[in-house]
Amino acid sequence: MGRLATLSSAVFGLQLLAAPLVAQIGLASGSQSVQLLATKRGSVGITLPAGTAATLPGELVAGPNDFAPLPVVTSWNLDPSRTASVRLVAFFDAPARALATELGAIPASSVFGRVPTGGPKSFAPFTGGQVVAGGGMLGVAGATLVLFAQPISGGNAVGTRTDELQVRIDLSGMPDLPPGTYTGTLNLVATTQ
C-alpha cells in the first residue's frame, strides 16, 4: 500500500498544480494598435515597339519629306482625383538645329509632326514653347509640340493608347541646304497635368 499511497499523493499534487493552469485560460492583454502606411505612386510610360531610330525612306528633296509612321504606346496608372490628363510631348534640344550635319542644319520650324488619333491631326511645326510638368518645365522653347492630351477619369485611370507619330521635314524655302546626312534626336515624354 505504500506504493499506492505514494502514487495517490503524486496524482493529487498534479491536480493541485493543474487547477491554477486552468484558471489562466482565456486571459488577454490590452489591445495595442499599429498604423500601417503604404504608398503606391502613379506612373506614366512610353514604349516604342518599332525601336528608337527612324530613317527617311529615300533622299531629302525640296518640299515635304515624310518618314514612315512610328508607333508610340503610352501607358499610365494614375489617381484620377489628382490627375486631369496625360500628355505626350515631343521636342528637339536646339530649335535652330533639330537635324544637323557639319555643314548645315534643319531648324525645328521645318520639322512637322502629327498624331491623327491625338492632338495635331494635320502636320504642325515643332515651334511651341515649354510645357508645365510637375514643378518644372518640359521641352525647349521654339522646338516643342504636344502630340495629345488624354483626359483622365475613374474609368480610365489605368490605361494605354497606341498612336502613329508621323514626322515630316519640309525643305520648302531651303534651296541652299548643303548635301549631307542630317541627324537629330526627337525627345518624347509622357507627363501628367
Domain ranges of the chain: 43-50+64-174+183-192
Is the predicted pLDDT of residue 2 greater than 80, yes or no?
no
Specify the pLDDT at position 102: 94
| DSSP helix/strand/coil, 45 | strand
CA distances from 21 to 24, 26, 146 (A): 5, 11, 76
Give the confidence band of 14 by pLDDT, cuts at 50, 70, 90. Answer: low
Between 14 and 93, where is the model more confident?
93
Give me the percent of the chain exceeding a pLDDT of 90.
75
- Distance between CA atoms of 125 and 133, rounded to whole angstroms? 21
Q: Is the pTM of this model over 0.85?
A: no
Across all residues in the chain, what is the average pLDDT? 89
Is the predicted pLDDT of residue 92 greater than 80, yes or no?
yes
CA distances from 176 to 66, 86, 145 (A): 20, 40, 27
List, in sequence order, the alpha helices (H) in 2-121.
2-23
Specify the pLDDT at position 190: 96
| DSSP helix/strand/coil, 92 | coil
Is the predicted pLDDT of residue 40 greater than 80, yes or no?
yes
Looking only at the bridges linking them, the beta strands covering 158-170 and 111-114 are antiparallel
